[in-house]
Amino acid sequence: MKIQILAVDDTQVILDLLVHILTSQGYEVDMAGNGMEGLKMACEKQYDLIISDMDMPVMRGIEFYKELLKKMPWMKHRILFVTANADRETELCIREHGLKHLPKPFRASELLEAIHELIKSHNTSFGAGVKD
């Protein structure tokens, strides 16, 4: 079974780039344009991994993360954040929760390496629809 990834970002160019990179590696990818849409999609379909921007309208990445964990606590270590403008609150959240993150812009190789690290740390349940 293919690994299911949800990409959440308010910039269509970034979403298109993520889809291109990830589908070329055999991942199945869905897109959401903001945190609220991403949360709705994550509740409707079980994803193995979520890649999310931190700075978005409607629902910022921090709020998205907190709401997601209320509904699906097993996703805690299955989220990769990407951000170009990490404010103080974002940096504190990343450190406090030990979140995996990449600064924008990032290279495709950096993205894939971060994803492989997350998959490796939860290898037994990725693609199997099993909760940790």
What residues are paired with 50 via a beta bridge?
6, 79
Strand order in the sheet with 100-103: 28-32, 4-8, 49-53, 79-83, 100-103
Mean of pLDDT over the chain: 88
**Tens of pLDDT, residues 82-94:** 988 767 777 787 8
pLDDT reported for residue 124:
47
How does pLDDT run across 102-128, given as a tens digit for each residue? 988 899 999 999 999 988 876 645 554
**Residues contacting residue 44 through CB under 8 Å, at least 6 positions apart:** none
Alpha helices in the chain (DSSP H): 12-23, 35-44, 61-71, 88-97, 108-121
Residue type, 6: L
Cα 14 to the chain's mean position, in Å?
A: 13
Could you read off the pLDDT of 57-87 as tens digits, one per residue?
889 888 999 999 999 998 988 999 998 876 7
Of 78, 82, 94, 14, the closest CA to residue 46 belongs to: 78
d(CA 89, CA 86): 8
Q: Any idea where the domains of the chain sit in the sequence? A: 4-121
CATH architecture assigned to 4-121 = 3-Layer(aba) Sandwich (3.40)
- Report pLDDT digits (tens) over 21-55: 999 999 999 999 999 999 999 999 999 999 999 88
